[in-house]
């Protein structure tokens, strides 16, 4: 497992960096500044004059990094033995397929599923034709549908952590961090209608609880 000194800096996969000095980096800084104000509804809104694809791209990278770090803190608890299937509570089980290497969904353990999932997301984020980092390079026509698939899958990692590993999260005092990250994620996908309501069902009660205070 990746370990660099303190526990909190452990990420599951290498962090995806947005190049400094780029417009996307400025957008990320803007997102961080508005997040600091504590108003998440405001923080997720498209900044005036900005391109929606670019805003979604920057935030998707950011959520990948956040989930990467959150999952990194609990990898010791998510093992082949503890999580032989990838689930989010007793009613929801996920089977992995990426449509290219694995076309027919396979049943696998949670650590294996999350490894497949995060590697797949990483490959999408590193693909310059999908996530262009250079100024003036247009986003592809299918960008939004790719982004929606990425976010739908990242949601499953939150769902697994909440359902199967919430006790260690509390022990590690990561609970506030997890809740803030998830709440930010939910406000973002709600603002731009990026994840189908059905997909969010495993955490529906939590979503209502976290978002009701901010209506």
pLDDT tens-digit map of 15-68: 888 888 888 888 888 888 877 767 888 889 999 999 999 999 999 999 999 999
Annotated binding-site positions: 78, 83, 160, 165
Question: Is the pLDDT at 2 greater than 60, yes or no?
Answer: no
Q: Who has greater pLDDT, 73 or 212?
A: 73
Across residues 107-112, what is the average pLDDT?
Answer: 96
Alpha-carbon distance of 209 to 81, in angstroms, equals 32
pLDDT digits (tens, 9 = 90+) for 17-26: 888 888 888 8
Q: From CA 41, how far away is CA 34, in angstroms rounded?
A: 10
In this prediction, what percent of the chain has a pLDDT beyond 70? 93
Residue 196, CB-side half-sphere exposure with 13 Å CA sphere: 5
Question: Which of 35-39, 84-88, 142-146, 175-179 is least confident?
Answer: 35-39
Question: Would you tell me the crossing angle of helices 143-164 and 110-126 to the nearest 10 degrees?
Answer: 150
Tell me how far apart the alpha carbons of residues 133 and 214 are, in angstroms, rounded to a whole number.
Answer: 33
Q: What is the pLDDT of residue 168?
A: 94
Over residues 128-174, the pLDDT tens digits come to 999 998 878 899 999 999 999 999 999 999 999 999 999 999 999 99
Chain position carrying tokens 């990483």: 122
86-87 and 93-94: which strand pairing?
Answer: antiparallel
pLDDT of residue 214: 55
Mean pLDDT value across residues 193-198? 96
Q: How many CB atoms lie within 10 A of CB 44?
A: 21
Is the pLDDT at 88 greater than 70? The verdict is yes
**Nearest in space to 62 (alpha carbons), one of 16, 13, 117, 7:** 16
Beta pairing partners, 93: 87
Task: Report the C-alpha gap between 202 and 205 in whole angstroms.
Answer: 8
Residue 213: predicted pLDDT = 66
Give the global pTM: 0.90
**To 10 degrees, the CA torsion angle through 203, 205, 210, 213?**
160
Look at residue 80 and tell me whether its pLDDT is greater than 50: yes
Q: How much is the pLDDT for 6?
A: 38
Give pLDDT, residue 42. Answer: 87
* Residues facing 87 on adjacent strands: 93
* Closest CA relative to residue 146, chosen from 194, 85, 86: 194
Domains (range + CATH), the chain: 23-212 (1.20.140.30)
DSSP SS3 for 195: coil
Residue 1 has pLDDT above 60, yes or no: no
**Can you say which residues are annotated as belonging to the binding site for Zn(2+)?**
78, 83, 160, 165
The kind and range of the H/E element at 69 are helix 52-74
DSSP secondary structure letter of residue 48: T
Is residue 104 within 8 Å of 97, Cβ to Cβ? yes
pLDDT above 70 for 208: yes
């Amino acid at each position: 497992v990746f370990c660099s000194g303190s526990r909190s800096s452990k990420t599951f996969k290498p962090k995806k960096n947005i190049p400094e000095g780029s417009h996307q980096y400025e957008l990320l800084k803007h997102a961080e500044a508005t997040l600091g104000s504590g108003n998440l509804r405001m923080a997720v809104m498209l900044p005036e004059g900005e391109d929606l694809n670019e805003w979604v791209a920057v935030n998707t990278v950011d959520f990948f990094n956040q989930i990467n770090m959150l999952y990194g803190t609990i990898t010791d608890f998510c093992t082949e033995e503890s999580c032989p299937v990838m689930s989010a509570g007793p009613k929801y089980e996920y089977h992995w397929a990426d449509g290219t290497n694995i076309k027919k969904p396979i049943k696998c353990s949670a650590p294996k599923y999350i490894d497949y999932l995060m590697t797949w997301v990483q490959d999408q984020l590193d693909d310059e034709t999908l996530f262009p980092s250079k100024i003036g390079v247009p986003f592809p026509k299918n960008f939004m549908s790719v982004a929606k698939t990425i976010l739908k899958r990242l949601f499953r990692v939150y769902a697994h952590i909440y359902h199967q590993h919430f006790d260690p999260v509390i022990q590690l005092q990561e609970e506030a961090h997890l809740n803030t990250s998830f709440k930010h994620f939910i406000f973002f996908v709600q603002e731009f209608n990026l994840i189908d309501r059905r997909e969010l069902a495993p955490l529906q009660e939590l979503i209502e609880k976290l978002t009701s205070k901010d209506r």
